[in-house]
Structure 1
Amino acid sequence: MTLTAEVARSQGALRTFLHGLPGVDQVGAEQRAAMLGTRSIKTSAKAQALDLAIRMVDLTTLEGSDTPGKVRALCAKAIRPDPADPTCPSAAAICVYPAMISVAAEALRGSGVHLASVATAFPSGQAPLEVKLADTRAAVADGADEIDMVIKRGAFLAGRYAEVHDEIVAVKEACGDAHLKVILETGELATLDNVRRASWLAMLAGADFIKTSTGKVQPAATLPVTLVMLEAVRDFRAATGRIVGVKPAGGIRTAKDAIKYLVMVNETAGPDWLDPDRFRFGASTLLNDLLMQRTKLATGHYAGPDYFTLD
Structure 2
Amino acid sequence: MTDRSLPADPIALAGYVDHTLLKPEATTADVTALVEEGARLGVFSVCISPTFVAHAARVAAGRLAVATVCGFPSGKHVSAVKAAEAARSVADGADEVDMVIDVGAAKEGAFDAVRADVAAVRAAVPDGHLLKVIIESATLTDDEIVAVCRAAQGAGADFVKTSTGFHPAGGASVHAVELMAATVGDALGVKASGGIRTLDDALAMIGAGATRLGLSGTAGVLAGFSGGRAPAGGSGY
TM over 0.5: yes
- In the alignment, what sits opposite 1:97? 49
Aligned twin of 1:77: 37
CA apart distance, 1:102: 1.1
- Any idea what the Cα deviations from partners look like across 1:91-130, whole Å, max 9, x if unmatched? 011111100111100111121x1100101x2111212222
**What is the rounded CA distance, in whole Å, between the counterparts of 2:190 and 2:6 in structure 1?**
22
Q: Is the 8 A contact 2:19 2:34 kept in 1?
A: yes
For 2:78, which of 128, 132, 137 is the aligned residue? 128
Cα distance, 1:194 vs structure 2: 1.0
- What is the CA-CA distance between 1:49 and the residue it aligns to? 4.9
Q: Offset of 1:53 from its aligned partner?
A: 1.9
1:155 corresponds to which residue?
A: 105
The 1:264–1:163 alpha-carbon spacing in structure 2 relative to 1, beyond 3 Å, is: closer
Distance 1:233 1:292, change over 3 A: same
Q: Distance in 1 between matches of 2:7 and 2:107?
A: 42
Q: 1:188-240: per-residue Cα shift (whole Å, max 9, x none)?
A: 22x11111111111111111000000111132100001110010122xx5xxx
- Whether the 8 Å contact between 1:133 and 1:170 is mirrored in structure 2 is yes
CA distance in 2, matches of 1:130, 1:290: 37
Distance 2:221 2:166 in 1: 23
Q: Does 1:170 align with 2:101?
A: no
Equivalence for 1:61: 21
Number of residue pairs matched by the alignment = 231
What letter is aligned with 1:176? Answer: P
For residues 143 and 78 of structure 2, the distance between their equivalents in structure 1, rounded to whole angstroms, comes to 28
Distance in 2 (CA, whole Å) between partners of 1:162 and 1:198 is 9
**Aligned-partner residue type, residue 112 of structure 2:** A
Amino acid at match of 1:204: G
| Alignment partner, residue 21 of structure 1 | none
Structure 1 counterpart SS, 2:47: strand
- Kindly indicate whether the alpha-carbon contact (under 8 Å) linking 2:6 and 2:207 is maintained by their aligned counterparts in 1: no
Aligned match of 2:130 in 166, 179, 202?
179
Larger radius of gyration: 1
In the other structure, the counterpart of 1:290 is 221
Residue 281 (structure 1) aligned with residue 232 (structure 2):
no
Residue 189 of structure 2 is matched in structure 1 by 245
CA deviations on 1:54-80 (whole Å, 9 max, x unpaired) are: 111101111111101000000001111
Alignment of 1:123-272 (within 5 A): 123-177=73-127, 178-189=129-140, 191-217=141-167, 218-234=169-185, 237=186, 243-265=187-209
Q: Which residue of 2 aligns with 1:23?
A: none
C-alpha separation in 2, matches of 1:166 and 1:133: 11
The share of aligned pairs that are identical, in percent, is: 34
The two structures, once aligned, show a CA RMSD in angstroms of 2.4
The alpha carbon displacement at 1:304 in A equals 11
Contact 2:10 2:223 (8 Å CA) reproduced: no
Which segments of 5 or more consecutive residues in structure 2 lack a partner in the other structure?
A: none
The structure where helix makes up a greater share of residues is 1
Structure 2 contact 16–212 (Cα < 8 Å) conserved? yes
Report the TM-score when normalising by structure 1: 0.69
- Specify whether residues 226 and 106 from structure 1 end up closer, same or farther in structure 2 by C-alpha distance, changes over 3 A only: same
- Give, in angstroms, the shift of residue 259 of structure 1: 1.5
Cα-to-partner distance string for 1:146-197 (whole Å, 9 max, x where unaligned): 00001111122222222211121111010013110000011222x1111111
Q: Distance in 2 between matches of 1:149 and 1:303?
A: 31
